[in-house]
Amino acid sequence: MVDVPVVGLDIGTTKVCTVVGRFNENNIFEILGMGKCKNSGVRNGVVVNIESTVDSILKAIEEAELESGVSIFNVTAGIAGAHIKGMNSRGVVAVTGKNKVISELDVERVLEAAKAVVIPMDREILHVEAQDYIVDGQNNIKQAIGMIGTRFEAEVHIVTGSATAKQNLTHCINRASYKIDDLILNSFASAEAVLHDDERELGVLMLDFGSSTVDAVLFVNKVPYYSNVFSYGGDLVTSDIACLLKTPNDVAEHLKISSGCCYPSLCGEDEDIIVPKLGGRPSISLPRDKFAEIIEARMKEIFLLIKKDLEARDLVKMVGGGIVLTGGVAKSEGIAELANQVFQISSRVGIPHGIIGLKPEYMGPEFSTAIGLTLHAARGLENRANQVKYKKTKPTKNGNLVSGLFAWLKEFIE
């Protein structure tokens, strides 16, 4: 049993969210508490105001501590923003071990070779995800250790980001007196919370809609083949509403959340909304389907831009498992129907699932990243515990299990 709390910290454009979880006495992971706070120190996923962001982090973590009863010192944080870029690469090495058996060292070497790509000085590699291993021309190998060969290749997906953006994010968390255990791409974290294994296997495109960006990631055979961040989000819809209806931005945001719809045909004929005007002018009544047309136009444009990028890379045919929409904007009524119409691919809204202890008010797509960060940290903790357990209980070289257990007992006592 792994009795150590893990914490996910999502620093978004509109809010900071903290999630605390732990494995219970039955070794089942459960959520202990959550905290959130509005944030005005981030734009397009990048920190632009240190003090404001630090203040939001402190408040969100304090609320999570009060609800969970756990003191927080370390966090697994997410990183996002338009500076994030994904690319695919390949590395090749010669197997040099005894009897040409591929070892862990060979895997490390081939991944290092795949990472040897030219990137600007102001960027750094955030993730290297192995897609496929190839041994002497034989591909579709997921576990290469122990195989025999001479030429060893790896196909990988590399995610890079702005070094400055990463440093400012890290600086904010450190200024708040917390240590970062790991820094994860937001879209990878969201995928942990909302995607199913069969979707990942067949090929699924996940779109994480935030207020200022859309994080896109395509999984095939359970590994990422494409990732990108688009500088469009829910704020554009709010701006359109405010501009076209001549209403304040805060009113436009409220109307978007309370009455918004991305698919006008879902609106009833007799549904109207009241739109307050600027400068104390008289409010007007507007049919809800007309209001939905404003939202539909902008959301359709965003979907078409994403589709164009996928078509340029010849990736649409790989989306056999459908499209999953998550993030705060995914709460909009009709968003799945509109995505299905634009992409001609089955779409659904992704919400966190299969998680014990999660309160109903947090079972929304806007909390996918924060919950996913906690799940990622928990999975890493569990994997490390299993590795330690395996090393302590594995037999000795002569295959004597009793000797292996004796060695483990001796190590444990010491």
CATH of the domain at 246: 3.30.420.40
Evaluate whether residue 399 is within a structural domain.
no
Compute CA distances 410 → 206, 405, 413, whole Å. Answer: 48, 9, 5
Contact 323, 339 (CB under 8 A): yes
Q: How confident is the model at residue 409 (pLDDT cuts 50, 70, 90)?
A: very low
Neighbours of 26 (CB within 10 A): 8
pLDDT: is 89 or 278 the higher one? Answer: 89
Q: Report whether pLDDT(356) > 50.
A: yes
Q: Report whether pLDDT(25) > 90.
A: no
How far apart CA 370 and CA 7 sit, in angstroms, is 9
Compute CA distances 269 → 273, 288, 294, 334, whole Å. Answer: 12, 8, 17, 16
Of 140, 160, 180, which one is at a domain's C-terminal end? 160
Evaluate whether residue 249 is within a structural domain.
yes
Evaluate whether residue 129 is within a structural domain.
yes
Q: Report whether pLDDT(1) > 60.
A: no
Evaluate whether residue 148 is within a structural domain.
yes
10: tokens are 């999502």
- Distance of alpha carbon 211 from its chain centroid, rounded? 15
Mean pLDDT, residues 299-308: 96
Q: How confident is the model at residue 304 (pLDDT cuts 50, 70, 90)?
A: very high
Q: How confident is the model at residue 286 (pLDDT cuts 50, 70, 90)?
A: very high
Number of structural domains in the chain: 2
How far apart CA 359 and CA 225 sit, in angstroms, is 33
Given this model, what pLDDT does residue 414 score?
A: 47
Q: Report whether pLDDT(399) > 90.
A: no
Evaluate whether residue 369 is within a structural domain.
no
Given this model, what pLDDT does residue 98 score?
A: 80
Q: Report whether pLDDT(52) > 70.
A: yes
Given this model, what pLDDT does residue 392 score?
A: 56
Given this model, what pLDDT does residue 385 score?
A: 63
Residues of the domain holding 281: 234-299
Given this model, what pLDDT does residue 358 score?
A: 87
Q: Report whether pLDDT(118) > 50.
A: yes
How far apart CA 178 and CA 73 sit, in angstroms, is 5
Summary mean pLDDT of the chain: 90
Q: How confident is the model at residue 256 (pLDDT cuts 50, 70, 90)?
A: very high
Q: Report whether pLDDT(280) > 50.
A: yes
List pLDDT tens digits, range 134-168: 999 999 898 999 999 999 999 999 999 999 999 99
Q: How confident is the model at residue 354 (pLDDT cuts 50, 70, 90)?
A: confident
Q: Report whether pLDDT(76) > 80.
A: yes
Of 144, 160, 176, which one is at a domain's C-terminal end? 160
- Distance of alpha carbon 260 from its chain centroid, rounded? 25
CATH number at residue 92: 3.30.1490.110
Q: Report whether pLDDT(393) > 70.
A: no
Q: Report whether pLDDT(255) > 50.
A: yes
Mean pLDDT, residues 70-92: 94
Given this model, what pLDDT does residue 395 score?
A: 53
Evaluate whether residue 316 is within a structural domain.
no
Evaluate whether residue 143 is within a structural domain.
yes
Given this model, what pLDDT does residue 402 score?
A: 47
Of 133, 160, 187, which one is at a domain's C-terminal end? 160
Give 292: exposed, middle or buried? Use CB within 10 Å, 0-12, 13-18, 19+: buried
Give 108: exposed, middle or buried? Use CB within 10 Å, 0-12, 13-18, 19+: exposed
List pLDDT tens digits, range 206-241: 999 998 999 999 999 999 999 999 998 999 999 999
Evaluate whether residue 108 is within a structural domain.
yes
**% of the chain beyond a pLDDT of 70:** 92
Given this model, what pLDDT does residue 298 score?
A: 96
Given this model, what pLDDT does residue 2 score?
A: 57
